[in-house]
C-alpha cells in the first residue's frame, strides 16, 4: 500500500448491497449463545456505537447509538478540545458504556480520530474518558482510519468495475482510498484483516466538514463564490498527491466508481430522493450520477441555513455542515471524474466490527456472562 498524509445519528442493478441487519437506537432481542462485538467511533462531529453478532459475511445489529457531539468545535482555531465539547462527548460515551455493560460483548474496541489526533489536549481527554466512563479510547492513525472505512463499505463495491475510490468525509479529516477491484482477495474479503485489503493508494487530509465550515464561514445565504472557494481549497489539498496516478487510466476509461461515506453525503442522497424523513434502507447503497450530486448541491445553495435545517434529511445539527461535505465531494469528482457514486450509510464503525469478527478464534467460545471490565480492555 502506498500512503500520503498531508500534515506539512442512528442516521447516520449491480446488485443490492448485503446491508447489515439494523436496529433502531435501543435494545433488541438476540440469540444469547451468539457472541457479541462492540465498536465505538468517536469522531470530530459524531459519537457512534454498534453492538452486533456475526451473521454470515456480515452481522446483525442488536444495539445502535449515534449522537452529534461536535468534539472538534473550535479546534482549528485554538488547537485545543473545548471544555464544553469534551463534556458533550463524555456524555455520549457514558451512554455507550452503559449499553456495553448491559450487553457484555466478547470483544470491544473504541477508537478516536482526527480531533483527538490533532488536539494538544487529546491525550488528556482520552485519560478523562477512561476515568469517567471506563472506556479505553485508542487514537488511530489516518492509515488505519482509511482501511477501516473501506472495510465497512466492502459490500457496496461493484465488482464489475476495475477500481473504486472510497471517500470518507469526516468532521476533521477526509480519507481517500483507491481500491483495486480486480484483486481476487476480495472474493474472501470478509476473512481478511483490514490491513490486507487491496488499497493501492490512500491519502488523509486534515480537513473535514467541521474544519472546512469553520474556515469558510457562511454569510446569510450560501453563494457560488463561497462554495467555489471551499471546493478549490480541497482541490489544493488533494492535487499534490500523485501516488494514485497509476490508476488514472482506469478512471479515464470509465471503469471505476466512487463510494461516498459521510452524513453530508447521505443528506445529499436524501435530498435527491425527496424523502419526507430519512430512510436508511433507501439511501444506503443508492447509486447517484455526478449530475445528481451537482443538482443536489445547487438545490442546497438556494436555501439559507434555516431552510436547510428544516429539511428532514439534514436537520439543525447538519445545516451548517452539509454544503461543506458537498464541496469536498465535488472537489474529488473534479480531480477523479466518475459518472457513478454509491452512497454509503456505513463506514469506519462497521469496519471496526467486521475487523473484530474476522480476528476471533476459530474455536467457538461461549460469551462470559459477566462480560469484560471496560477499564481492563486492551486495544484490539
Nearest to 115 by CA among 73, 149, 84, 146: 73
Res. 189 pLDDT band, cuts 50 70 90: confident
Domain shared by 135 and 184, yes or no: no
Q: Is residue 129 part of a domain?
A: yes
Q: Is residue 353 part of a domain?
A: no
Question: How confident is the model over 252-303, as pLDDT tens digits?
Answer: 999 999 999 998 899 999 999 999 999 999 999 999 999 999 999 999 999 9
Number of domains in the chain: 2
* 199 falls within a domain: yes
Q: Provide the pLDDT for residue 85.
A: 98
Same domain, 93 and 178: no
The Cβ of residue 179 has, within 10 Å, a number of other Cβ atoms equal to: 26
Q: Which residues are CB-contacts of 136 (< 8 A; sequence separation ≥ 6)?
A: 110, 129, 130, 374, 375, 377, 378, 379
Same domain, yes or no: 106 and 242: no
Residues 129 and 68 in one domain: yes
Encode pLDDT of 124-179 as tens digits.
Answer: 999 999 999 999 999 999 999 999 999 999 999 999 999 999 999 999 999 999 99
Please check whether residues 15 and 67 belong to one and the same domain: yes
101-123 CB burial, b ≥16 within 10 A, e <16: eebbbbbbbbbbbbbbbbbebbe
CATH number at residue 322: 3.30.420.150
Q: What is the mean pLDDT of the chain?
A: 88
Block residue for cell numbers 481527554:
125
Q: Are residues 167 and 127 in the same domain?
A: no
Q: Is residue 206 part of a domain?
A: yes
Report d(CA 366, CA 33) in Å as an integer: 6
Section 226-243 average pLDDT: 97
301 exposure class (CB count in 10 Å sphere: 0-12, 13-18, 19+)? middle
Does a structural domain hold residue 358? no
Whether residues 296 and 331 fall in one domain: yes
319 φ, ψ (degrees, to nearest 5): -60, -35
Place of cell 469553520: 214
152 shares its domain with 115: no
In 3D space, the residue among 99, 138, 102, 106 whose CA is nearest the CA of residue 353 turns out to be 106
Residues 34 and 55 in one domain: yes
pLDDT at 369 over 80: no
pLDDT (tens digit, 9 = 90+) per residue, 291-345?
999 999 999 999 988 999 999 999 998 999 999 999 999 999 999 999 999 999 9
What phi-psi label fits residue 162: left (phi over 0), alpha (psi between -120 and 50 degrees) or beta? alpha
Name the pTM for this structure: 0.87
Residue 268 maps to a domain: yes
Nearest Cα to Cα of residue 169 among 301, 31, 55, 331: 331
* Claim to verify: residue 178 and residue 91 sit in the same structural domain: no
The answer to the question of residue 49 being in a domain is: yes
Would 355 be classed as within a structural domain? no
Same domain, 231 and 326: yes
176 and 121 in a common domain: no
The single residue listed with the C-alpha cell 470509465 is 254
Contact call for residues 109 and 352 (beta carbons, < 8 A)? yes
> CATH number for the domain including 117?
3.30.420.40
- Residue 239 pLDDT > 50, yes or no? yes
The domain of 274 spans 144-344
Amino acid at each position: 500500500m502506498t500512503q500520503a498524509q498531508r500534515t506539512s445519528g442512528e442516521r447516520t442493478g449491480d446488485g443490492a448491497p448485503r446491508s447489515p441487519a439494523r436496529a433502531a437506537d435501543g435494545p433488541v432481542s438476540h440469540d444469547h449463545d451468539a457472541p457479541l462485538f462492540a465498536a465505538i467511533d468517536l469522531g470530530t462531529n459524531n459519537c457512534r456505537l454498534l453492538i452486533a453478532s456475526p451473521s454470515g459475511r456480515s452481522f446483525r445489529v442488536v444495539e445502535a447509538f449515534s449522537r452529534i457531539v461536535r468534539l472538534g468545535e473550535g479546534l482549528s482555531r485554538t488547537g485545543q478540545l473545548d471544555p464544553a465539547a469534551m463534556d458533550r462527548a463524555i456524555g455520549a460515551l457514558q451512554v455507550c458504556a452503559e449499553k456495553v455493560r448491559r450487553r457484555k460483548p466478547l470483544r470491544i474496541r473504541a477508537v478516536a480520530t482526527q480531533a483527538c489526533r490533532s488536539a494538544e489536549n487529546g491525550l488528556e481527554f482520552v485519560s478523562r474518558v477512561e476515568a469517567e466512563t471506563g472506556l479505553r479510547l485508542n487514537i488511530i492513525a489516518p492509515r488505519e482510519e482509511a482501511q477501516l472505512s473501506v472495510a465497512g463499505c466492502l459490500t457496496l463495491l461493484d465488482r464489475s468495475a476495475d477500481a473504486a475510490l472510497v471517500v470518507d468525509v469526516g468532521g476533521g479529516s477526509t480519507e481517500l482510498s483507491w481500491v483495486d477491484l480486480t484483486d481476487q482477495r476480495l472474493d474472501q474479503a470478509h476473512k481478511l484483516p483490514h490491513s490486507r485489503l487491496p488499497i493501492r493508494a490512500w491519502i488523509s487530509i486534515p480537513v473535514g466538514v467541521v474544519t472546512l465550515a469553520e474556515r469558510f464561514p457562511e454569510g446569510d445565504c450560501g453563494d457560488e463564490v463561497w462554495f467555489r472557494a471551499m471546493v478549490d481549497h480541497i482541490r489544493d489539498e488533494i492535487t499534490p498527491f500523485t501516488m494514485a496516478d497509476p490508476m488514472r487510466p482506469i478512471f479515464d476509461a470509465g471503469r471505476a466508481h466512487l463510494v461516498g461515506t459521510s452524513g453530508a453525503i447521505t443528506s445529499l442522497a436524501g435530498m435527491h430522493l425527496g424523502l419526507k424523513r430519512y430512510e436508511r434502507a433507501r439511501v444506503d447503497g443508492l447509486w447517484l450520477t455526478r449530475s445528481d450530486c451537482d443538482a443536489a448541491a445547487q438545490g442546497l445553495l438556494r436555501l439559507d441555513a434555516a431552510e436547510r435545517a428544516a429539511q428532514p434529511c439534514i436537520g439543525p445539527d447538519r445545516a451548517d455542515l452539509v454544503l461543506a461535505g458537498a464541496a469536498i465531494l465535488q472537489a474529488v469528482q473534479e480531480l477523479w471524474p466518475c459518472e457513478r457514486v454509491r452512497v454509503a450509510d456505513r463506514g469506519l464503525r462497521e469496519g471496526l466490527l467486521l475487523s473484530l469478527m474476522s480476528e476471533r478464534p476459530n474455536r467457538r467460545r461461549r460469551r462470559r456472562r459477566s462480560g469484560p471490565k471496560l477499564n481492563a480492555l486492551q486495544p484490539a
